[in-house]
Structure 1
Amino acid sequence: MQPIISIQGLSKTYAGGFQALKNVSLDIGQGEIFALLGPNGAGKTTLIGITCGLVNPTSGKVLADGHDIRADYRAARAKIGLVPQELSTDAFETVWATVKFSRGLFGKPPNDAYLEKVLKDLSLWDKKDAKIMALSGGMKRRVMIAKALSHEPKILFLDEPTAGVDVELRREMWEMVRGLREDGVTIILTTHYIEEAEEMADRVGVISKGELILVEDKDALMRQLGKKQLTLHLQEPLTAVPEGLGQYQLALAADGAELVYTFDAQAEATGIAELLRELSKKGIDFRDLQTEQSSLEEIFVSLVKGRA
């Protein structure tokens, strides 16, 4: 199946010689939620700007639903909705008028029923006649999403969509994004909230210093790179890690009451069982155990630090 977004050999060098993107290639499939992660200045916004036709690349090519973003700009741009990081809209206009105007900008015929559905899905319907200047920051963020969806795009870019939004509203917006995906819309998300990517994304891309250093299925990434820890709460404290267990990454708590085993997620099935058998042979009993796995945030930080 042809990817709905195809980015090929994309580079961008700004005046002064700063290279924001370095030979980035990426395919994104229809209906997936793709999270693009990276520190400030990594190139995320430049990549989005080029893909949406707002920034000219130095080299490379971008196709949106088969349309070249430069050679066939109008057709490509009509497929894309963009929610920028900055809140920018007419403060003196009403919610309904600004969303309707956005639809008209793309030459779409009036469709009040569709716009009503968008506003209801975003919990904005009761605010449709309110001036945007009277809305809270979270509501203004929702208006930006409604504007981006007004022309029925197949691709939606969300650049830090929940910045400054409270936790409850953030979770409501996550549900809205999942609903869009179920309707076949492809979502590309940049976020500083790593739990947002962990909660929603199908795949994760990590960009650092203009280079795309990793693209992976989120669950596979956490299996491959996620470290796990098994903590055994011992019946009797130990003074040292028992001899003969050098093949395990074991650490003893300062009070001797906990034994911590660190392992790769892939080694879970055999490693834990073997360790428990060895401890039993040595007469070491435990009263409780618990496991923890590295979060996506920890994996992200380790990847970026490794490229520093």
Structure 2
Amino acid sequence: MLKYIVKRILQMIPMLLILSVVVFCMVRLIPGDPVTMNLGMGAGKDAIAAETARLGLDKPIWEQYLIWMNNLLHGDFGTSISTHKEVLYEITRRYPTTFRLALGATLFSTVVGVAFGILASVKHGKITDNLLMVLSLVSVSTPSFFLAMILMLIFCLQLGLLPVSGFDTWKHMVLPIMTLGMQEVGYITRITRSSMLDVLGQDYIRTSRARGVGELTVTCVHALKNAIIPVLTSVGLRFGSLLAGATLTETVFSIAGIGRLTVTAVSQRDYPLIQGCILVLAVTFVVVNTIVDILYTVADPRIKFE
């Protein structure tokens, strides 16, 4: 196990290196000039040249990349062009909020999706199964911004149970987490149902039932344990989607997260801030999927890593 963990961590290094190159180059392809955005359209040529030199944008792109990477290795993400504050400071203020939002949505979608998937597989071919499949299709097909408006209309305006915006208390967290995680409920429900149906048809499940083992034990212990691998894979992959998709939810509910920060940075062509935000989100996604890979051995001891 330790050997595998070390191997996976070492595999992250070239992956993150390639990712840094891609992020750096893609940011430079965004139309617009950060110098002009910062100084304004009426700035003179001398002012533009001086600002370009100050930001280091007059150097060749490969040299800019090497300088950026050298600073990263020393814990320096650079200074935001628009706010004139340290990029790391801006990220550390916003990142915990987005991470809590994505983590809460992941837990919500996993618990509800797995429960619905198990129920649908147990009631296969019956009205409960058909109803859950229809609901999962509706969940996947409903745009998050539309769902957010419906939830706000019902729980905030009509019932007055929950606040409209913010992410400070558990009441503020309910609607954003439900909005972000609802689409994932449909995906996880379908994956769990499909995986459970494959396992429930195995010989050892029929043997357990013939021996008089309770249906709840057969389903939730024997079957689920062997059907959980595809679900774990889906949860790990969808967590990255939730991190990226948090931007819209943060905008609708006025949440000061890293998603909104990234959108603002892109609109202002703030290269250091864009690069820092995307890199932090990407590293989070890679780390989470590495953890999911390690959890495979916990879920299924038959898996051996050489």
TM-score by length of structure 1 reads 0.19
Which of the pair has the greater relative contact order for Cα pairs under 8 Å at 6+ separation?
2
> Which one has a larger percent strand, Structure 1 or Structure 2?
1
Higher helix proportion: 2
TM-score, scaled to structure 2: 0.19
